[in-house]
Amino acid sequence: MAKQEGRKLIANNKKVYHDYFLEEKIEAGIALVGTEVKSLRMGKCSIKEAFIRIENGEVFIYQMHISPYEMGNIMNKDPLRTRKLLLHKSEIRHLIGKIKEKGYTLVPVEVYFSGSHIKMEIALARGKKLYDKRADIAKKDMKREAERDFKVRNLR
């Protein structure tokens, strides 16, 4: 679990950067129960398969896996239950307007602690085509090779 700019990272979704162009990022709270918070403090969370939908003016995240708390009792909830994301009404209206445009979707990027609150960074994203993904891979390879050449030259 890495620490960056006053926030402690719990889980991130690296695949999002490969599959989507991220247009706009938004911070949202998550409605959780006590044992889920304890499990998140232990770092037991996965958002790789998660997706976000807006229904009746409310934002929900599906398939976000929070492992049951080991010391928990009957209060443990289903690990894959649907959870509500906490956003202002104006932010939700803005997202609804953007999603109605062709090709836009909401994707979870990372879950982290901001102080004592658990937050999720969600992004308004547009899907990449196969040729976009190939171009990104080619750029990464060229950058990696240039860094390797630079390192070799500086060692001599």
| Predicted local distance difference test score (pLDDT) of residue 88 | 93
Better pLDDT: 73 or 65: 65
At the top level of CATH, the class of 3-128 is mainly beta
Domain boundaries, the chain: 3-128
For 4, other C-beta atoms within 10 Å of its C-beta total 8
What pTM value is reported for the model? 0.74
Whether residue 156 has pLDDT greater than 70: no
pLDDT band at 102 (very low <50, low <70, confident <90, very high): confident
pLDDT average, residue stretch 83-110: 88
| Predicted local distance difference test score (pLDDT) of residue 60 | 93
The pLDDT tens digits for 25-54 are 999 999 888 788 888 888 888 888 888 989
pLDDT average, residue stretch 47-67: 88
